[in-house]
């Protein structure tokens, strides 16, 4: 009789531990994504200042500036899915990199103190975002392992937990960057 009670108690403890472990992993992923979200908000706040500073110098790149502004507005407009946020922010990062390459052709802009401050701030923010993305991917990896490995996968399927996507760079960003200035 005591053996049956002990076995039932052990099984219940294991179930509670598995359940709590899955909840903790899910919450960790959400927490780290929230950190990224805060940093992206800061990036969105910097973009209009950067665009306004550059506008007067880079007349022929008006389309680039408009696309950056459009993406910033779309991101600031409201909540979007994690995957949509990843796609939008990858495109915004790509356009900002392109903008900085274009700026190289404007020595007077590079000497502008406001622009230099914005560029340094944005560079620092991008480094923080990179670190946060690494933390997010580590949390997602831990979560995905729990969702797929036995015995936690049984509880995860009963709780309708599914794999989460990693923050990944787009394929075209993996190519060598051409910074030749003409």
Q: Is residue 174 part of a domain?
A: no
- Confidence band for 177, pLDDT divided at 50, 70 and 90: very low
Residue 134's nearest CA partner among 177, 91, 176, 167 is: 167
- Confidence band for 171, pLDDT divided at 50, 70 and 90: low
DSSP per-residue codes, 86-149: HHHHHHHHHHHHHHHHHHTT-HHHHT-HHHHHHHHHHHHHHHHHHHHHHHHHHHHHHHHHHHHS
What pLDDT does 175 receive?
53
Number of domains in the chain: 1
Q: Is residue 123 part of a domain?
A: yes
**Tens of pLDDT, residues 102-121:** 777 777 776 677 778 888 88
Q: Is residue 154 part of a domain?
A: yes
Q: Is residue 175 part of a domain?
A: no
Q: Is residue 58 part of a domain?
A: yes
What pLDDT does 154 receive?
93
Q: What is the mean pLDDT of the chain?
A: 84
- Confidence band for 180, pLDDT divided at 50, 70 and 90: very low
Asked if 37 and 162 count as a contact pair (C-beta separation under 8 A), the reply is no
What pLDDT does 179 receive?
38
- Residue range 22-45: average pLDDT? 91
Q: Is residue 27 part of a domain?
A: yes
Buried b (16+ CB within 10 A) or exposed e, 117-133: ebbeebeebeebbeebb
Q: Is residue 159 part of a domain?
A: yes
Domain that holds residue 31: 2-169
Q: Measuring CA to CA, how many Å separate 165 from each of 19, 85, 117?
A: 21, 12, 34
Q: Is residue 12 part of a domain?
A: yes
- Confidence band for 172, pLDDT divided at 50, 70 and 90: low
What pLDDT does 41 receive?
86
**Tens of pLDDT, residues 117-149:** 888 888 898 899 889 999 999 999 999 999 999
């Amino acid at each position: 009789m005591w053996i049956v009670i002990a076995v039932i108690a052990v099984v219940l403890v294991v179930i509670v531990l598995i359940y709590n472990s899955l909840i903790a992993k899910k919450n960790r992923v959400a927490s780290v994504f929230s950190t990224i979200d805060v940093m992206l908000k800061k990036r969105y706040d910097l973009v209009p200042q950067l665009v306004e500073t550059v506008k007067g110098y880079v007349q022929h790149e008006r389309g680039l500036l408009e696309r950056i502004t459009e993406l910033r507005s779309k991101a600031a407009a409201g909540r979007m899915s994690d995957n949509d946020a990843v796609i939008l922010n990858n495109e915004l990062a790509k356009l900002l990199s392109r903008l900085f390459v274009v700026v190289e052709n404007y020595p007077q802009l590079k000497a502008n103190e406001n622009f230099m401050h914005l560029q340094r701030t944005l560079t620092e923010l991008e480094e923080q975002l990179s670190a946060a993305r690494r933390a997010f991917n580590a949390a997602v990896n831990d979560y995905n392992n729990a969702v797929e490995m036995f015995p936690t996968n049984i509880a995860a399927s009963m709780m309708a937990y599914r794999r989460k996507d990693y923050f990944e760079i787009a394929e075209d960003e993996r190519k060598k960057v051409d910074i030749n200035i003409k």
